[in-house]
Structure 1
Amino acid sequence: MLIYANPRHAAHDGRQEMFRGKLVPCHEVPARLEHVLAELGRRPLGEIQAPPPVPRALLEAVHASRYLRFLETAWDDWVALDPANAALDALPSVWPVRGFRADLEPDNFAARLGLYSFDAGTPLTAGTWAAAEAGAACAAAAATAVTGGARAALALTRPPGHHAGHDFFGGYCFVNNAAVAAQALRDGGARRVAVLDVDYHHGNGTQSLFYERADVLTVSIHGDPRTEYPFYLGHADETGAVHGLGCNLNLPLPAGTDFAGWRQALGTALARIAAFAPDALVVALGVDTYEGDPISRFRLASDDYLRVGAEIAGAGLPTVFTLEGGYAVAAMGVNVVNVLEGFEAAAR
C-alpha cells in the first residue's frame, strides 16, 4: 500500500475547544497520527512518503475560492487584531443563521470566522492552513496513485476532513480530504466514484458537496443525528437531490451498537456501492467507532477492525483511504493499522 503522510500535520495543534459552556483541551491532537506512524513502524504495510503539492485548481473544484483565501490568511488577520492573539486559538462566537445574509463577506474578522464555520469546537491555529493544505496534498497523491494502477493508497493526515463543506469548517475539519480524493479520481478518468464514510460522526461536509451529483455516491454509517454530532444532517431520508437523487445513503445507528449490528450496516453499504458500479472507492476512515473512544458511543473492539478492512477489500475496487476521526489516542495506531492490514490480506 502506498502511504502519503502529512509532513506538516503537527503545525495544527489546537489548545482548546468549546464544549458544554467551557473551554476544554482538544481531542484532535498531533499524537493521533504519531501513534499510527509508530504502529506502521512495527507492522510496515508499504512505503511512507511525503506528497507533492496539491494543485490549487483541485482545491477550488471542492471548496469555494473565497473560503480557501480566508483559511490562508485567517491566522495573520487574527494576530493583526491584537499581537497577544498569537498565544490564543481563534474560535468563532457568532454565526449567520437562517434568514441572515451569507453572500457578503464581512470586513470584521470575528464575523468572517463565523461565516465560514459551524461550531465552536474547531480551533484555528497558526499552522492550520499549512496542515490542511498538506493533508489535501496527501489525498490528491493517494488518488493519483490509484488512478495510476495502485490497488490502494492511504492519505495519512490530520486535521481530518469529512465535516468540511464547500465553504465551511467544523468538527475539527477544514479541507475535505475524502472529497479531494474523489474529485481527483474523477479528474483522473474514473466515471463514477463511491465514498464510504465509516467514522462515528456523519460526514456532513462530504454529503453536502456531492448531494446533487450523479457521478459520486456517498454512503455513511454513523451515530443517529437525533442525538449525535453533527446533528443537522445524516438522516436516512436524505437520498440526494436533482441529478444526485438516489446517490446518497445514510445508515444511522443507535448509541451502543456493537460490531454485529455495525457489520450488518456495512453489508448494506457495500451492496449499495456494488449496485452503483463505481470505478474507484474512497474510504473516509474514522476509528472513533472503537469501544474506548471518549466522544463516541459504538462498541467495536480492536480486532473487529481487521474484519472491517477485509470486508471493504471484498468490494474489489481501487481504494483510497483518508484518515478521519478516532480519539482514543493510544489505541489509534492499532485500530487504523488493523483496518489496513485486514484490507491488504484480503486484497491479495
Structure 2
Amino acid sequence: MQTVFHPAQLEHNPAREFLDGAWIDYLESPRRPRMILDAIVQAQLGPVIVPDDFGLEPIRVVHADPYLDYLQSAYARWIAAGRSRDGVYPDTFYKPGFLHRPGGIGGQAGRYAFDLSAPITAGTWPAAYWSAQSALTAARLVRDGAPAAFALCRPPGHHAHADLCGGYCFLNNAAIAAEYLAQYPAADSPLPTPDFRLGEAGVGSRQIAILDVDFHHGNGTQAIFYRRSDVLFVSLHADPDRQYPYFMGGSDERGEGEGEGFNWNYPLPAGIDDARYLATLDEACARIAGFAPRYLVVSLGVDTFGGDPLGDFALGSDAFPRIGARLAQLKLPTVFIMEGGYAIEQLGANVVGVLGGFAQC
C-alpha cells in the first residue's frame, strides 16, 4: 500500500490551543505524522510518495470560494492589522440571525471558524493545501486500480465544513477525495469528463461510501453530503451529548431531501471495549455493503485508543488490526484518509495496525 505525504504538511505548527478552559500545547502537532511515517517505514508497508498537484479546482467543489480566499490570506491580514503573530484566533463567533457581514479580518475570523482549535499560522495554508493534494493523489491511485492507498493527511479534515474551519481541520480531505472519485471517471468509465464546478448529487454520479472511525463525529463531512444520495456517510463516534463536536452526530440525523436515509451515525458510550466497538463496526459495514458503493473512503482516526488524551473509549492496540481486517472484508477499493489520534507514543503502531490488518486480508 502506498502512503502519500508532502513535507509542507509539517508547516502548520501553532503553539497552543484552548481546551477545557485552559491554554495547552497544541495536540495536533507536526510530531504526529513523523511518528506515523516512522512506523510505516519500520513495518515495510510500502513506499511513501509525494502527492501530485491537482490545483484548487477539486478543492473548490467542496469548499466555498470566499472561504478559500480567507484561508489563503487570513494570516497576512491578521499580522497587517497588528494582531498576535501566534496565529489567527477569533474572539467573536457568527451565529444565525446576526445581520452584518464583516469585511475585516477580526470579524471574518469568527465567521469562518466554529471553535478555537484551528488557529491559522503562516504555514497553515501550505499544509492544508498539500494535505488535500495527498488525499487526491491517494484517490487517483485507487481509481486507477490500486486496491488501497493511505493519504497521511495533516492537518486532518473531517470537521471542516464547506465554509468553516474547526477541530484542527481546514479542508475536508475525505470529502475532497470522495468528490474526486464521484466525479472523475476511471479510464474504463463511459461517463464524460466532469465539470468540477458542478458538485451536485447525480452529476457524474458513482456511489461512494465514507466511513468515519475517528473518536469524534465528522460533522463537516456529514454537513457536506447531508442532502446527497450518491454518497453514503457512516460514522462511529463518541456520543455528542458528552463529547465534541456536541451539535452534530446524533443517531436521529439521517439526511435531508434526496439524502434522507444516506447518513448513519452510531454514537457510542464512554469506556466502550474492543468487542462492543467491533460489533458496531460490523453493523456499519453491513450498511455499507447494502449500499453497494464502487469506492470506500475511510476517515481514519485512532483517537479511539484507550490512552488517547482526547478520548474516553477503551480500545486496546489489538483492536486496530481487527478494524483493518473487517474493512478489507468489504472488498472495496479503499482510500484511507488520516484524521485524529493524539497518544503520540502509540500513534504510529495503531495506524499501522489498521493498514496492516487491511493489507493482510
TM-score bin, normalised by smaller chain: over 0.9
Cα deviation for residue 21 of structure 1 reads 2.7
Q: What is the alpha-carbon distance in structure 1 between the residues aligned to residue 270 and residue 136 of structure 2?
A: 34
Cα deviation for residue 41 of structure 1 reads 1.5
Cα deviation for residue 114 of structure 1 reads 0.5
Counterpart of 1:334 in structure 2 is 349
Q: What is the alpha-carbon distance in structure 2 between the residues aligned to residue 307 and residue 320 of structure 1?
A: 18
Counterpart of 2:155 in structure 1 is 159
Q: What is the alpha-carbon distance in structure 1 between the residues aligned to residue 240 and residue 84 of structure 2?
A: 35
Cα deviation for residue 123 of structure 1 reads 1.7
Answering whether residue 6 of structure 2 is matched by residue 6 of structure 1, we say yes
List per-residue Cα deviations over 1:118-177 (Å, max 9, x = no partner).
001222111000000000000001111111011001111211000001100000000000
List per-residue Cα deviations over 1:243-278 (Å, max 9, x = no partner).
111000000001111111111110111011001110
Question: How many residues matched?
Answer: 342
Counterpart of 2:198 in structure 1 is none
Answering whether residue 166 of structure 2 is matched by residue 176 of structure 1, we say no
Q: What is the alpha-carbon distance in structure 2 between the residues aligned to residue 247 and residue 60 of structure 1?
A: 23
Q: What is the alpha-carbon distance in structure 1 between the residues aligned to residue 118 and residue 17 of structure 2?
A: 6
Does the Cα contact within 8 Å between 1:6 and 1:158 map onto a contact in 2? no
Residue pairs, 1:273-288, within 5 angstroms: 273-288=288-303
Does the Cα contact within 8 Å between 2:321 and 2:354 map onto a contact in 1? yes
Amino acid at match of 2:280: A
Question: What SS does the corresponding residue of 2:235 show, helix, strand or coil?
Answer: strand
Answering whether residue 260 of structure 2 is matched by residue 245 of structure 1, we say yes
Counterpart of 1:115 in structure 2 is 111
Percent identity over the alignment is 45
Question: What SS does the corresponding residue of 1:39 show, helix, strand or coil?
Answer: helix
Counterpart of 1:93 in structure 2 is 91
Residue pairs, 1:21-60, within 5 angstroms: 21-60=21-60
Cα deviation for residue 62 of structure 1 reads 0.4
Does the Cα contact within 8 Å between 1:144 and 1:188 map onto a contact in 2? no
Amino acid at match of 2:28: E
Counterpart of 1:136 in structure 2 is 132
Counterpart of 1:344 in structure 2 is 359
Cα deviation for residue 2 of structure 1 reads 1.8
Does the Cα contact within 8 Å between 1:54 and 1:133 map onto a contact in 2? no
Amino acid at match of 2:132: A
Which range moves more in the overlay, 282-291 or 114-123?
A: 114-123
**TM-score (normalised: structure 2):** 0.93
Q: What is the alpha-carbon distance in structure 2 between the residues aligned to residue 107 and residue 207 of structure 1?
A: 28
Q: What is the alpha-carbon distance in structure 1 between the residues aligned to residue 233 and residue 7 of structure 2?
A: 29
Does the Cα contact within 8 Å between 1:54 and 1:136 map onto a contact in 2? no
Does the Cα contact within 8 Å between 2:183 and 2:206 map onto a contact in 1? no
Amino acid at match of 1:78: W
Amino acid at match of 1:294: P
Question: What SS does the corresponding residue of 1:252 show, helix, strand or coil?
Answer: strand
Counterpart of 1:269 in structure 2 is 284
Q: What is the alpha-carbon distance in structure 2 between the residues aligned to residue 134 and residue 183 of structure 1?
A: 17
Q: What is the alpha-carbon distance in structure 2 between the residues aligned to residue 309 and residue 101 of structure 1?
A: 47
Q: What is the alpha-carbon distance in structure 2 between the residues aligned to residue 192 and residue 122 of structure 1?
A: 31
Which range moves more in the overlay, 250-259 or 50-59?
A: 50-59
Q: What is the alpha-carbon distance in structure 2 between the residues aligned to residue 139 and residue 312 of structure 1?
A: 19
Amino acid at match of 2:219: N
Question: What SS does the corresponding residue of 1:58 show, helix, strand or coil?
Answer: helix
Does the Cα contact within 8 Å between 1:62 and 1:166 map onto a contact in 2? yes
> Unpaired segments of 5 or more residues in structure 1?
none
Question: What SS does the corresponding residue of 1:38 show, helix, strand or coil?
Answer: helix
Which range moves more in the overlay, 181-190 or 58-67?
A: 181-190
Q: What is the alpha-carbon distance in structure 1 between the residues aligned to residue 98 and residue 224 of structure 2?
A: 22
Amino acid at match of 1:75: Y
Does the Cα contact within 8 Å between 2:2 and 2:47 map onto a contact in 1? yes
Cα deviation for residue 101 of structure 1 reads 3.6
Counterpart of 1:257 in structure 2 is 272
> Unpaired segments of 5 or more residues in structure 2?
186-204
Question: What SS does the corresponding residue of 1:321 show, helix, strand or coil?
Answer: strand
Does the Cα contact within 8 Å between 2:67 and 2:163 map onto a contact in 1? yes
Does the Cα contact within 8 Å between 1:17 and 1:23 map onto a contact in 2? yes
Return the match for 1:309 from 320, 324, 329: 324
Cα deviation for residue 79 of structure 1 reads 1.1
